[in-house]
Amino acid sequence: MRAGLVVADVSIPNPNVFYEIGLTHALGKDCFILYQENVVLPADIAGSHYYPYDLDNLDAGMENLQRGIKKWASGNKVEGIRNLEGLLNE
């Protein structure tokens, strides 16, 4: 309920994850959705930030996600954001 941003991986179909993404949207929270490249997503989750990753190049996927979170953090005032920015700069 207090999260400013939710990060979910939908590479493996899991009803609980989709339920939690639905709650995230219902609460008006931002959600970054990770998925493994070449995986067919079972649902179209409109309005979400998608971040594909390749198991053979996880560093590139992590850098892409970090850029997205930094961009998101620069435009949002959320409790704990300073801690988030610190983690991303490591």
Looking at residue 58, its pLDDT comes to: 92
User: 65 burial class (0-12, 13-18, 19+ CB within 10 angstroms)?
Assistant: middle
Q: Is the pLDDT of residue 43 over 80?
A: no
Top mean pLDDT of 12-16, 44-48, 68-72, 78-82 is at 12-16
CATH number of the domain bearing residue 39: 3.40.50
Range of the domain at 59: 5-88
pLDDT score recorded for residue 57: 93
What's the structural domain count of the chain? 1
pLDDT value at residue 49 = 72
What is the predicted pLDDT for the residue at 56? 93
Mean model confidence pLDDT for the chain: 80
